[in-house]
Amino acid sequence: MKVNEITLDMAGSMKRIAQRCFPGATPVIDRFHVQKLATEALQEIRIRHRWDAIEMENTVTQGLGEEKNSGTEIFENGDSRKQLLARSRYLLYKSREKWTLSQKQRAVILFAQYPDLEKAYQLTDGLRKIYNQNIPKSLAMTKLAHWFKEVEEADFKSFSTLRKTIMNHYRDILNYFHQRSTNAAAESFNAKIKSFRMQLRGVKDRTFFLFRLTKLFA
């Protein structure tokens, strides 16, 4: 009962554990889990276009026979269409301010060829900006409502699924804007445990493993 706030992901089992173990705590959905879903929705659109580009290249190659290289489309930065979509993966994870010069050039070509990717990127970046602003819960609610409207107008299946997921956890997600708490420390500790377990090539004696973790990290 002494715990006032707990950060967690959107798993139903985790929520039940939190309610049982910390009945007086306010649940907060970790922002990075929400943003990860938005990024995955964006990457799904990019991957779908990449498979289309691979299929197109295969069709062109089969039609040309021996003159295989002459039918490959090359953009001004030296990328083929397939390479453009593959190499754009990491720039879509970043905000525009963090792009390198080559990533900026690639983004201009990418968004010119695929306007839907630019629209999806703007949706992902818009959600990121809401989280980055130090605003009260009431204002965050308004901004999320506007973001929901943009998602509906864009009519992307993956983002519509994301919107429904956010609405199912709406209150717990908005609780983030009280104290802007995240479970980054827990995720970091979890990564240390996984790294330690890998060094041991697995764990047979679980009790002794937990004893060693306590001595090293407690």
Q: Are residues 210 and 129 in the same domain?
A: no
Domain-located, residue 155 = yes
Task: Indicate the pLDDT class of residue 200, thresholds 50, 70 and 90.
Answer: confident
Domain-located, residue 153 = yes
Rg (CA), the chain: 22
Per-residue pLDDT of 3-62, as tens digits, reads 999 999 888 898 899 899 999 999 999 999 999 999 999 999 999 999 999 998 888 777
Residue range of the domain that includes 212? 183-218
Per-residue pLDDT of 128-167, as tens digits, reads 999 999 999 999 999 999 999 999 999 999 999 999 999 9
Q: Are residues 84 and 192 in the same domain?
A: no
Q: Are residues 70 and 56 in the same domain?
A: yes
Q: Are residues 95 and 173 in the same domain?
A: yes
Q: Are residues 42 and 76 in the same domain?
A: yes
Q: Are residues 42 and 108 in the same domain?
A: yes
DSSP of 107-141, one letter per residue? Answer: HHHHHHH-HHHHHHHHHHHHHHHHHHS---HHHHH
* Rounded mean pLDDT, 53-79: 76
**Domains identified in the chain, total number:** 2
Per-residue pLDDT of 21-31, as tens digits, reads 999 999 999 99
Q: What is the rounded distance in angstroms from the CA atom of residue 212 to the CA atom of residue 195?
A: 14
- pLDDT above 70: residue 67: no
Q: Are residues 125 and 209 in the same domain?
A: no
Q: Are residues 155 and 198 in the same domain?
A: no
Domain-located, residue 22 = no
